[in-house]
A and B are shown apart, each in its own frame.
Chain A
Amino acid sequence: AQSVTQPDIHITVSEGASLELRCNYSYGATPYLFWYVQSPGQGLQLLLKYFSGDTLVQGIKGFEAEFKRSQSSFNLRKPSVHWSDAAEYFCAVAPSGNTGKLIFGQGTTLQVKP
């Protein structure tokens, strides 16, 4: 069955430190890949997406993600975390060719220490 795994439920980093959030998917073909952020009291916001081409994609707020086919991974990174990045992050996949529905991971909560 198609699935998305975010192994880290909760991560704490210091402000200014680098960040990597892990995402692995299980699907036969290469799906479309997404990262969303959900800040307290706000709706989900799309950070970045991967459809094809360059495997390193840039998103908003200084985030980037790298697609690694051999590892079925799409990890999210940021070189220097800001306190305002504290939120919940969701990885999602859309099996290519389907109706557009997204399959979400369970999310990773990011806490930023001053």
Chain B
Amino acid sequence: GAGVSQSPSNKVTEKGKDVELRCDPISGHTALYWYRQRLGQGLEFLIYFQGNSAPDKSGLPSDRFSAERTGESVSTLTIQRTQQEDSAVYLCASSAGRGQGSRYEQYFGPGTRLTVT
């Protein structure tokens, strides 16, 4: 596609429910990132996928958070047993992933706004 797409754009869920957020990266981009942006805050890194390598999960805040990626395409971020503090905008980004600079030129999607009531 022309850019990174994410769905849904908005999600309201009850505390304790599980949610799945989807990201479609730019075609041909091998690297994919998930970030979280709480209200009035900067972005927090969650997880990074690069090709077939093991993902960098160092930013996941708890074991309720997990993510998968199918090959070099779609990724889903799953939050189990959601809590109110999970309310945030979840942003996905992709990059070409190769070479010194290209992996850092990340193109962001519009985000999914998650509200846990």
What residues of chain A have their CB less than 8 Å away from a CB belonging to chain B? 4, 6, 32, 34, 36, 41-46, 49, 51, 90, 92, 94, 99-107
B69 vs chain A, min Cβ distance (A): 14
B90 within 8 A of A: no
CB pair B45–A102 under 8 Å, yes or no, is yes
CB pair B104–A32 under 8 Å, yes or no, is yes
A46 vs chain B, min Cβ distance (A): 6
CB pair B4–A100 under 8 Å, yes or no, is no
Cα-based distance from A90 to B20 in the complex (angstroms): 27
B65 within 8 A of A: no
Q: Which of A6, A45, A100, A106 has the most CB of B within 10 A?
A: A100
Counted as pairs of residues, one from A and one from B, with CB atoms less than 8 Å apart, the total is: 68
Pick 19 A–B contacts, CB within 8 A, sort by A: A4-B42, A32-B104, A43-B109, A43-B110, A45-B108, A46-B105, A51-B101, A92-B43, A99-B56, A100-B33, A100-B50, A100-B95, A100-B103, A100-B106, A101-B48, A102-B33, A103-B45, A104-B44, A106-B40
B71 within 8 A of A: no
Residues of A with C-beta under 8 A to B42: 4, 6, 90, 104-107
CB pair B43–A100 under 8 Å, yes or no, is no
Interface 1/0 per residue, B47-62 and A, CB below 8 Å: 0101000001001000
Q: Which of A43, A46, A107 has the most CB of B within 10 A?
A: A43
Residues of B with C-beta under 8 A to A104: 35, 42-44
Cα-based distance from A51 to B101 in the complex (angstroms): 8
CB pair A44–B104 under 8 Å, yes or no, is no
Q: Given the known inter-chain contacts A100-B31, A100-B48, A101-B59, please indicate yes or no for A94 contacting B111, CB distance below 8 A.
A: no
B48 vs chain A, min Cβ distance (A): 5
Cα-based distance from A43 to B43 in the complex (angstroms): 12
CB pair A42–B104 under 8 Å, yes or no, is no
User: Which single member of B4, B97, B106, B110 contacts A102 (CB below 8 Å)?
Assistant: B106
Q: Given the known inter-chain contacts A32-B104, A49-B101, A106-B41, please indicate yes or no for A99 contacting B110, CB distance below 8 A.
A: no
- Which B-chain residue is minimally distant from A33 (CB atoms)? B104
